[in-house]
Chains A and B, each alone.
Chain A
Amino acid sequence: MDFTTQLLIAAISAGTPLLLATLGGILNERAGIIQLGAEGLMLMGAVTTCIVYIRSGSLLLALLATLAVTALLGIIHSFLTVTLRANQTMSGLAMTLFGSGLSAYLGKSISGLPLPGTSPKLDLGWVKSIPVIGDIFGRLDVLTWFSLLLVAALHLLIHHTSWGLHLKAVGDNPATADVMGIRVQMIRYSYVTAGAALIGLAGADMVLAYAPTWNEGLTAGRGWIAVGLVIFARWNPLRALFCAYFFGALDSLGFRIQLLGSAIPPYFLKMIPYIVTILVLMYLGYRNRNKPSGTPESLGTPYIREQRF
């Protein structure tokens, strides 16, 4: 395999957790709720997967537990931001700090232990023998295929169904949605919860497909990069796919360059994704300075129904 094919494979493998987290973030923010807890949710997802998988040996159980735990955290975030109308920024920050503390606390007992297995790969038989395409698509694991299906499903949901219309209405103009008979609070709760579970799944993918053991803080800011990717993807699942793989490529590029025996110290190569995140967001800000950015219009503002008598 040549360098480019290897890089593409690495981009998909490093990009899948970012993709899942970005899709989760898109669901949150389309409903009008900022989700800054991604880093904490990913850590909680990763640690839950590790604990349950190591203790029970069942991958399915581990994934279900991950979804349940992070969905519960999503419900807490919705309760704070939708029902109590707390500051969404602070609630997300609390989620991140709480999640990294709790995951470190819970993960202490299994820190460094190898997982019993990885995410199973789908064997596509004859596809594998096609050059390049076979190399890339013949070895994808279940979670990667799931994330690809999810991109298509969310694209259809948001842009081609009435559910998507309701979601966008709630995110853009909750008062109008309310008048139209859409249950704003219910929709916000559902999407924030589903989004949190997806971000948790991103954490599970980190340990199942990428780094198969638990280490404190193993996400290393990927949750925050996903928060940036949501903006980069302009709240659009299809664009999220390309953005996540682009960043996956950047993430693994440093490592690949190092393997080639480059003289650049690895610390600088590791800075690439973080610096590029800032530069890309600056570029987008500059390019879209006089245009609507695609931000859901009521993002960050709680909805308060007027007084009824």
Chain B
Amino acid sequence: MSPKNMSSSAVLESTAVPDKSGKRFSLRLEYDSSRNRSPWWSPVLSVILALLLCAVFIAANGMNPVTVYEKMFRGAFGTSYGFTETLVKAIPLLLCGLGIAVAYRISVWNIGAEGQLTVGAMAATAVTIYFPDLPSFWAISLMLVFGIAAGALWGLMTAIPRTHFGVNELITSLMLNYVALLALDYVVFGPWKDPQGFNFPGSPMFTAAQSLPVLGTTRLHIGLVFGLVAVLIYFLLIKFTRWGYELRLIGANPNAAKYAGIHIKRHIIIVMLISGGLAGIAGMAEVSGVTHKLMQGISPGYGYTAIIVAWLAKLNPLGLIVTSVLFGGLIVGGYSVQTIGLPSSISELLQGAILFFLIAGEMIHRFRIRRSA
């Protein structure tokens, strides 16, 4: 064992076991904190284990887990309609997940993507209500700007209590999710309710000029390009700019970064603005590209799912593309098993289980069983 490992590893258990020849040796479980890079297969394994765990719950519901998983998979990836739906769901996951990855990189635990998405959608809708006759380009651009600004503002409201008052951002961002959802309820039941909507809570339908262009006859909209461009920009910023370097430094060692003269507070504010802004784009894209109006339930928890999406991708922007499609498929697959009488919450259950196994898997490889005389 190298001297470096000696200082950072610890013996947990030491059991004396006689081996075949009768000579005694001991088995030790060692913890080695220097092994902080989990192997590539750990995310794959955690998905498999989560599927196995949830199979138990499916079986308890009196169904064959294999049939259910097959149906989920076919529903999400088996048909071209299913696959475009999966991509449609992947768009907000990618945008929110990217925002979350930026924040988590420096241990800013933003769990407020849901609220940031919601206010983004509301701000975009405000444009359609207060500037109804803009030509398409200006309408979409203004909606995008409003969406980003609202999301970023919501992010800022999480950042400022953290940087200036020492309030845990987890609590703030979550509380703001509820505030945003209540504000959404207020506008769709109140001032923005469609007068021709048969009393259904929701804004008037967007005009064609206020809707994002879609691919052919599918529901797949240009938001996918927003997401991919954002991934590319983020990737380049992190790799090639001073800001990206500082971010990586804070992530690796906050104390060293502080002594190197990096303004950590400023970085927290910047990442929360970015994080909120990206979720705001997701919200704008949902109303303008998918629902074409503001209503309750525009997000089936994208903001929370995106946390798992980001963590499963190990906060890597390129990995996010893969995991967001996977989880988009999980949501679509969850809907498709409703027809055989299984609650669609099976997909939420799977998501939670994946995260559990994922964080366990990140640690478990640090433990090794060693044999010594």
Binding partners A and B: yes
Q: Which residue numbers of A lie inside 8 Å of B, CB to CB?
A: 36, 40, 76, 80, 84-87, 89-91, 93-95, 97-102, 104-106, 108, 216, 220-221, 224-225, 227-228, 231, 265, 267-268, 270-271, 274-275, 277-278, 281-282, 285-286, 289, 293, 304-308
Please state if A281 and B363 are interface contacts (CB–CB under 8 Å).
no
Please state if A102 and B349 are interface contacts (CB–CB under 8 Å).
yes
Shortest beta-carbon distance, A19 to chain B, in Å?
18
Closest A-chain residue to B107, C-beta based? Answer: A89
Closest A-chain residue to B350, C-beta based? Answer: A101
Please state if A84 and B352 are interface contacts (CB–CB under 8 Å).
no
Please state if B171 and A101 are interface contacts (CB–CB under 8 Å).
no
Known: A101-B351, A304-B10, A307-B11. A93 touches B57 (CB 8 A): no
Please state if A285 and B359 are interface contacts (CB–CB under 8 Å).
no
Please state if A84 and B182 are interface contacts (CB–CB under 8 Å).
no
Closest A-chain residue to B30, C-beta based? Answer: A307
Interchain CB contact (< 8 A) of B182 among A80, A231, A267, A305: A267
Interchain CB contact (< 8 A) of A93 among B177, B186, B307: B307
Closest B-chain residue to A268, C-beta based? Answer: B186
Interface check B362, CB cutoff 8 A: yes
In the docked arrangement, what's the CA distance between A265 and B186, Å? 8
- Chain A residues near B9 (CB, 8 Å)? 307
Interface check B73, CB cutoff 8 A: no
Please state if B170 and A281 are interface contacts (CB–CB under 8 Å).
no
Closest A-chain residue to B305, C-beta based? Answer: A97
Please state if B359 and A221 are interface contacts (CB–CB under 8 Å).
no
- 10 A-B Cβ contacts within 8 A? A102-B57, A104-B343, A221-B177, A224-B170, A267-B186, A278-B167, A281-B171, A285-B165, A285-B167, A306-B10
- Chain B residues near A278 (CB, 8 Å)? 161, 167, 171-172, 175-176
* Interface of chain A, main secondary structure: helix
Q: Which of A98, A102, A281: most chain B CB closer than 10 A?
A: A98
Q: Which of A268, A293, A304, A307: most chain B CB closer than 10 A?
A: A307
Q: Which of A87, A93, A105: most chain B CB closer than 10 A?
A: A105
Q: Which of A87, A94, A224, A271: most chain B CB closer than 10 A?
A: A94
Interface check B136, CB cutoff 8 A: no
Shortest beta-carbon distance, B264 to chain A, in Å?
16
Q: Which residue numbers of B lie inside 8 Å of A, CB to CB?
A: 6-7, 9-11, 31, 33, 57, 109, 111, 161, 165-168, 170-172, 174-179, 182-183, 185-186, 189-190, 304, 307-308, 311, 343, 345-353, 355-356, 358-360, 362-364, 367
Interchain CB contact (< 8 A) of B175 among A275, A286, A305, A307: A275
Please state if A277 and B175 are interface contacts (CB–CB under 8 Å).
yes
Known: A274-B175, A278-B175. A102 touches B161 (CB 8 A): no
In the docked arrangement, what's the CA distance between A307 and B2, Å? 14
Interchain CB contact (< 8 A) of B352 among A87, A94, A275: A94
- Chain B residues near A93 (CB, 8 Å)? 109, 111, 307, 355
In the docked arrangement, what's the CA distance between A224 and B179, Å? 13
Interchain CB contact (< 8 A) of A285 among B161, B179, B348, B350: B161
In the docked arrangement, what's the CA distance between A101 and B57, Å? 12
Known: A91-B359, A102-B349. A84 touches B364 (CB 8 A): yes
In the docked arrangement, what's the CA distance between A277 and B353, Å? 30
The 8 closest A-B pairs by CB, nearest first: A98-B352, A101-B348, A285-B165, A104-B345, A101-B349, A267-B186, A97-B352, A94-B355
Shortest beta-carbon distance, B37 to chain A, in Å?
15
In the docked arrangement, what's the CA distance between A225 and B177, Å? 13
- Chain A residues near B167 (CB, 8 Å)? 278, 281-282, 285
- Chain A residues near B356 (CB, 8 Å)? 76, 80, 91, 94-95, 98
Closest A-chain residue to B174, C-beta based? Answer: A224
Known: A105-B57, A281-B172. A86 touches B352 (CB 8 A): no
Please state if B161 and A282 are interface contacts (CB–CB under 8 Å).
yes
In the docked arrangement, what's the CA distance between A106 and B346, Å? 9
Interchain CB contact (< 8 A) of B171 among A94, A227, A270, A286: A227
Known: A101-B351, A274-B175. A90 touches B359 (CB 8 A): yes
- Chain A residues near B359 (CB, 8 Å)? 80, 86-87, 90-91, 94
- Chain B residues near A270 (CB, 8 Å)? 182
Known: A84-B364, A90-B355, A268-B186. A304 touches B31 (CB 8 A): yes
Please state if A271 and B182 are interface contacts (CB–CB under 8 Å).
yes
Shortest beta-carbon distance, A263 to chain B, in Å?
12
Known: A94-B355, A304-B33. A105 touches B343 (CB 8 A): yes
Interchain CB contact (< 8 A) of B346 among A105, A277, A281: A105
Closest B-chain residue to A217, C-beta based? Answer: B301
In the docked arrangement, what's the CA distance between A224 and B169, Å? 12
- Chain A residues near B363 (CB, 8 Å)? 80, 84-86
Please state if A98 and B172 are interface contacts (CB–CB under 8 Å).
no
- Chain B residues near A90 (CB, 8 Å)? 311, 355, 359
20 additional contacts (CB under 8 A) given A106-B57, A221-B174, A281-B165: A36-B170, A80-B359, A86-B362, A97-B352, A100-B352, A101-B352, A102-B349, A102-B352, A104-B345, A105-B343, A220-B178, A267-B186, A271-B178, A274-B175, A278-B175, A285-B167, A289-B165, A304-B10, A307-B9, A307-B10
In the docked arrangement, what's the CA distance between A10 and B364, Å? 47
Q: Which of A89, A225, A278, A289: most chain B CB closer than 10 A?
A: A278
In the docked arrangement, what's the CA distance between A289 and B353, Å? 38
In the docked arrangement, what's the CA distance between A98 and B358, Å? 13
- Chain B residues near A76 (CB, 8 Å)? 356
Interchain CB contact (< 8 A) of A267 among B168, B185, B350: B185
